[in-house]
Amino acid sequence: MGEIECVKHVTKRRWTQHIFRTIRKGIFTFLVKNVAAEVGEGCCVNHYSKVTGNTYLASHVSFNGMQIVGKARVEIGRYFHSGEGCMIITSNHNYEGNAIPYDDMDLVRDVKIEDFVWLGNRVMVLPGVTIGEGAIVQAGAVVVKDVPYCAIVGGNPAQVFKYRDKEHFERLKKEMKFH
């Protein structure tokens, strides 16, 4: 194959991949919009994601493979980004009930994620958690308690190990430099 034919082949392949990704993203976004209770403008679902009818998404939420399970309410703020394989759980089994290992009563607690939060790949958020504005959750973390404003957390259970430069964060927010 000559150089020109090779370039045409690569360009055609890239174009085909681009079209496929665009169609796939459209289907995934459509599925989320049709299940969630509320979805703001600019929602983008790049990989298969599952939400519940108690899911409320603000504007410019971006999922790269999210599973939201359970019966409680999940609120996700503006300009949220998730990595691949993330999960938010809002219900637990009652292991202190009338049967072993657990009874048939679910323990249900809401999850709230504020604006400008970024979850890395494979993050798990457990029932009752609030993740504060501007927080970053490191890949693989298990969030079992509230995360403060602009905190950077990681581990199992997730612990604060650093904070964003809050002045820098607020300046970017004021200048409306969102991604």
Residues with active-site annotation: 93
Give the residue among 100, 63, 57, 90 at the shortest CA–CA distance from 75. Answer: 57
- Residues constituting the chain: 179
User: Which two tokens mark 163?
Assistant: 């904070």
User: Which two tokens mark 82?
Assistant: 């998730």
E strand spans, 32-177: 38-39, 44-45, 55-57, 62-63, 66-69, 74-76, 81-82, 86-89, 91-93, 106-108, 111-113, 118-119, 124-125, 130-131, 136-137, 142-143, 151-154, 159-163
